[in-house]
Amino acid sequence: MKTQSSDVIVIGGGIMGACTTLFLRQRGISVTLLERDRIGQKASGSSFGNLRRQGRPISQLPLANRSSALWAQLSESLGAEIEVELSGHVRVGYSDRPELVEDFTHYASQAAETGLNLEVFTGKELHERFPFFGPEVLVGSYSPNDGHSNPRVVASACARAASANGAHVHENMAVTSANKVGEDFVVVTDAGLGFTAPSLVIAAGAWSNSLAEAFGEKIGIVSRGPTMLVTEPAPYFIHPCLGVVTPVEEESIYLRQIARGNVIVGGSTRSPASTSTGRAIVDPKNTLSQLRQLRRLVPALAQLNVIRVWSGVEGYTPDGMPVIGRSEREAGLYYACGFSGGGHQLGPGVGEVIAELIDTGETDTPIEDFGIRRFNASTG
Ligand SMILES: Cc1cc2nc3c(=O)[nH]c(=O)nc-3n(C[C@H](O)[C@H](O)[C@H](O)COP(=O)(O)OP(=O)(O)OC[C@H]3O[C@@H](n4cnc5c(N)ncnc54)[C@H](O)[C@@H]3O)c2cc1C
């Protein structure tokens, strides 16, 4: 079998694998990226595109803040138009949950300690600041430096930039086995090619379980499909991303309007998704539920027609937190997988942290809470 060698092999060309490859090359490390499909066509290309930091566990904010700084100059550093709009993000609560005023205020004071500044508005002040909200909206937490980007183009732009800088990027090439032989990982693909490297990064999204199991580590990712829709264009009047905070799944929608006028809506209930077929179904009931909630959040959008719906295969770990960092069982093995709802925003930060770990052996960004040890501990 023909074999190629590099310093690092990355499995999976979603936003995590593409960003990791990009930042490894920026450090002069030779890297091979292997993608079964086309770059960024799975979860990363079907994402809503939110660059939201607020609402995450506080322990995730240093990483999200690092990512935020990278997003601010990513378009320029890639030399590609990835439609980053840092036009703000508002989390809102409805009047039947007045406790959210206190919750948002408390969260804002904790977030400020990590460098994320939020402003909490209520009642009249909120409706003057954001006049498009429906009358049921009671409280809003505003994050002025967050926003959104176009998820369909980000991972491929990162992989193209990495490739132009010397990375070996292979599309339509699935990894069929990965083992450690002596000091090196040996990765075999369905194209009959072999790749060797002393470091291996598993960034295979919802498909990462079996790759981790090959090294004795069990993550237990399950797949679901968040439902998305996009409307016909309307005059551009909603600049920040919006998201509803509620324990009721049907109510939990989020939306963004792009400068071209279309409104993209996600959230409410999720559908089944399959890693075998790579498909996630859109259940029309979810779309109807989103439209009911859309009218409640921004009544002016009630008459817009939907022009497309879609979903994507998203991988959820048992505790909803990603797996980032070193393997506990195999030297040279790293994970960047198990990202569900907030993965798009984290992509550049995760890529830079993994590249830093491989290059220097350490990182200043706290990632202990995301170690694979928490799942190894429960599986023995
Ligand atoms: C509909 C939807 C909406 C979302 N909205 C948001 C949002 O608004 N904000 C946000 O922050 N996040 C959002 N997310 C989540 C975000 O998209 C994901 O967390 C993120 O894209 C995960 O990136 P990834 O690289 O880990 O996974 P993926 O993009 O799935 O990439 C993994 C890649 O690995 C490849 N692969 C798998 N197995 C192999 C193999 N054996 N050999 C070679 N390649 C392999 C796959 O083909 C795939 O391309 C959303 C997700 C979905 C599905």
3-state secondary structure 19-66: HHHHHHHHCCCCEEEECCCCCCCCHHHHCCCEECCCCCCHHHHHHHHH
Residue 260, pLDDT > 50, answer yes
Check whether residue 29 and residue 93 sit in a common domain: no
Provide the mean pLDDT of the chain.
96
Check whether residue 325 and residue 187 sit in a common domain: yes
Check whether residue 105 and residue 175 sit in a common domain: no
Q: Is residue 66 part of a domain?
A: no
Query: Do 288 and 268 meet the contact criterion of CB atoms below 8 Å apart?
Result: no
Check whether residue 312 and residue 229 sit in a common domain: yes
Ligand 1 atom nearest residue 211's Cα? 41
Candidate from 39, 42, 286 with most ligand 1 atoms within 8 A of CB, to mutate: 42
Q: What is the CATH classification number for the domain harbouring 191? A: 3.50.50.60
Cβ of 17 closer than 6 Å to ligand 1, yes or no, is: yes
Query: Do 245 and 210 meet the contact criterion of CB atoms below 8 Å apart?
Result: no
Q: Is residue 71 part of a domain?
A: no
Over residues 192-227, the pLDDT tens digits come to: 989 999 999 999 999 999 999 999 999 999 999 999
For residue 101, the model assigns a pLDDT of 98
Cβ of 42 closer than 6 Å to ligand 1, yes or no, is: yes
- CA atoms within 13 Å, Cβ hemisphere of 3: 11
Q: Using CA atoms, how far apart are residues 54 and 146, in angstroms rounded to an integer? A: 9
For residue 26, the model assigns a pLDDT of 98
Number of folded domains that form the chain? 2
For residue 376, the model assigns a pLDDT of 85
Check whether residue 142 and residue 127 sit in a common domain: yes
Cβ of 350 closer than 6 Å to ligand 1, yes or no, is: no
Cβ of 9 closer than 6 Å to ligand 1, yes or no, is: no
Compute, in angstroms, the gap from residue 139 CA to the centroid of ligand 1. Answer: 32
Q: What range does the domain containing 216 cover? A: 3-48+151-220+318-379
For residue 379, the model assigns a pLDDT of 54
Check whether residue 179 and residue 301 sit in a common domain: no
Of 316, 340, 369, the residue at which a domain comes to its end is 316
Of 264, 294, 316, the residue at which a domain comes to its end is 316
Q: Is residue 99 part of a domain?
A: yes
Cβ of 44 closer than 6 Å to ligand 1, yes or no, is: yes
Query: Do 13 and 45 meet the contact criterion of CB atoms below 8 Å apart?
Result: no
Check whether residue 226 and residue 307 sit in a common domain: yes
Cβ of 35 closer than 6 Å to ligand 1, yes or no, is: yes
Check whether residue 143 and residue 227 sit in a common domain: yes
Cβ of 270 closer than 6 Å to ligand 1, yes or no, is: no
- Closest among 12, 71, 11 to 344, alpha carbons compared: 71
Residue 380, pLDDT > 50, answer no
For residue 377, the model assigns a pLDDT of 67
Sign of CA dihedral 190, 192, 193, 196: positive
Residue range 69-80: average pLDDT? 96
Q: Is residue 63 part of a domain?
A: no
Check whether residue 260 and residue 349 sit in a common domain: no
Burial class from Cβ neighbours inside 10 Å (0-12, 13-18, 19+) for residue 180 reads middle
Query: Do 91 and 245 meet the contact criterion of CB atoms below 8 Å apart?
Result: yes
Residue range 6-32: average pLDDT? 98
For residue 82, the model assigns a pLDDT of 95
Candidate from 339, 346, 354 with most ligand 1 atoms within 8 A of CB, to mutate: 339
Q: Is residue 42 part of a domain?
A: yes
Ligand 1 atom nearest residue 12's Cα? 34
Residue 311, pLDDT > 90, answer yes
For residue 136, the model assigns a pLDDT of 97
Over residues 335-376, the pLDDT tens digits come to: 999 998 889 999 999 999 999 999 999 999 999 999 999 998
Cβ of 227 closer than 6 Å to ligand 1, yes or no, is: no
Q: Is residue 37 part of a domain?
A: yes
Residue nearest ligand 1's atom 27 by CA: 205
Q: Is residue 355 part of a domain?
A: yes
Ligand 1 atom nearest residue 16's Cα? 25
Of 268, 291, 316, the residue at which a domain comes to its end is 316
Q: Is residue 356 part of a domain?
A: yes
Q: What is the CATH classification number for the domain harbouring 140? A: 3.30.9.10
For residue 109, the model assigns a pLDDT of 98
For residue 378, the model assigns a pLDDT of 60
Check whether residue 366 and residue 244 sit in a common domain: no
Cβ of 345 closer than 6 Å to ligand 1, yes or no, is: yes
Contacts of 370 (CB under 8 A, 6+ apart): 321, 322, 323, 324, 325
Check whether residue 139 and residue 257 sit in a common domain: yes
- Closest among 10, 162, 152, 17 to 78, alpha carbons compared: 162
Cβ of 11 closer than 6 Å to ligand 1, yes or no, is: yes
Check whether residue 262 and residue 343 sit in a common domain: no
